[in-house]
Chain A
């Protein structure tokens, strides 16, 4: 049991102590269910659409949505490309059986391949990955019409590192899991009954064969989450983290990813010209007169 002091004030940063990331799963579950329910209604919508990959982030999102809105009001879309693994499909189906929501499969291979076949230049695999992410999101938005909200599945680690495709997997109406680090999200996943095989498998965007998040990033989520927690939540400067024994190179790398990708986390910049400008000084809440 963590003491009150440790929870609200004194936390000693230690690269070997993951306990500061521990969350009260029951409280988080309750807060997220109320969030999904309340903000869906405020948007004057009643259903949720979730892109389900078979991974833990979308598993938690869709399970919470089913609890918040009722499984009959949740549409999960499994949108495989030819490189997607059969295991992912199996995991998506397991979730659908367990939590009772409708799961539809909408393959994206045909349209993605047709688009790139027509390109003359050599296409980098990152471009194909981004196209897939945006293709999926365009399907989710299409299927959300007229009364559904698209739920985001980007966790706090991905958002901070910028490890996602802008207007692709990062796009959504509301995001229930965006303030949970990957480590915390796994903890929540186990407590709400996501099968262990889904929680424990190596995270992957499956944008190309053999891709894993940690392989591509070059560090583990466990290491990144602890650094991000102390840097972002606790406001420690990189130099202070290094003094406390965190790896200097890793701290610098993570700090740079956070800085470089900040553009993905904010609305597009609008050139200020008039006396009152959207985004600059025309500042109304999104829940303006909402129920």
Chain B
């Protein structure tokens, strides 16, 4: 039985949480009407991305009353949305929550904070420190927020932990306009999505936003890439779009039967190599 999901390729306003909550309501209603079991919003969908000093102004705890509207809306449809989380010890994190049945069921804090070129995450946010999978109706899932996905180890760790779906909410600025192909960023992202999906035999659900912040354009192009490497659905570039697609657990099973790379994966060897290089003790169980 495949599960229908929706990607809200939207344009959040920068620092205007109330307005963004209203915007979320509209996309949630559309996703519900389309029969989706889950609607996924891009990175920092409730706050906007290039926040700078606004980060502290819009931050809230994961159980803050202003997010209760999202929780309430999740009684009918699961919702994955982005916000600035203020931790109990007052650190700011780029976070993606998953709400289901009226409750927050999982939060991922962005681990890799790009702080180079046009990115300045590390100046304003603290890093997350874990990649944890969680369950929902669609199956075992891991969240990789934007730069998290660019690190090969992220989807690897999720796949090794049993994930069949990697949700990748992003705020990816479009750049690279040389002739002879697609937008440079789009090409890199598509290569990455297809490679991870095929070689880890998982669904990659890439959710990018559109619109501008201070002259920088987010390019959209959200896509669902299936474990056989095919593009199951893809949204247009630069325009808003509600992208509907299906997650088929049986396709995962078929691909893993045909291509049992994950079954044969030697995590113990990976761990021994890394532990040895870092001078950490490693208990062999054999």
Contact = CB atoms under 8 A, between A and B. Distances in A.
Contacts of A28: 177
A216 interface: no
Interface in A218-248: none
A33 to B, nearest CB: 10
B14 A31 contact: no
Nearest to A178: B215
B15 A8 contact: no
Interface stretch (A19-27, A83-91, A203-211): A19-27
B252 interface: no
A128 B183 CA distance: 43
Contacts of A7: 176, 178, 180-181, 184, 187
A123 interface: no
Contacts of B13: 289-291
A155 B180 CA distance: 23
A214 interface: no
A283 B176 contact: no
Main secondary structure on B side of the interface with A: loop
Contact of A31 (B16, B50, B180, B217): B217
Contacts of B215: 35, 39, 174
A71 B218 CA distance: 26
Given A31-B177, A34-B212, A289-B14, 14 more contacts: A2-B179, A4-B181, A8-B176, A8-B187, A22-B180, A24-B180, A31-B238, A34-B217, A39-B215, A284-B54, A287-B50, A288-B54, A290-B13, A291-B13
Interface of B: 13-16, 50-54, 174, 176-181, 183-184, 187-188, 211-215, 217, 238
Interface of A: 1-4, 6-8, 20, 22-25, 27-28, 30-31, 34-35, 38-39, 42, 174, 282-291
24 contacts: A1-B180, A2-B181, A7-B180, A7-B184, A7-B187, A23-B177, A23-B179, A24-B177, A24-B179, A28-B177, A31-B177, A31-B217, A34-B217, A34-B238, A35-B212, A38-B211, A283-B53, A284-B53, A285-B52, A287-B14, A288-B14, A288-B54, A289-B16, A290-B13
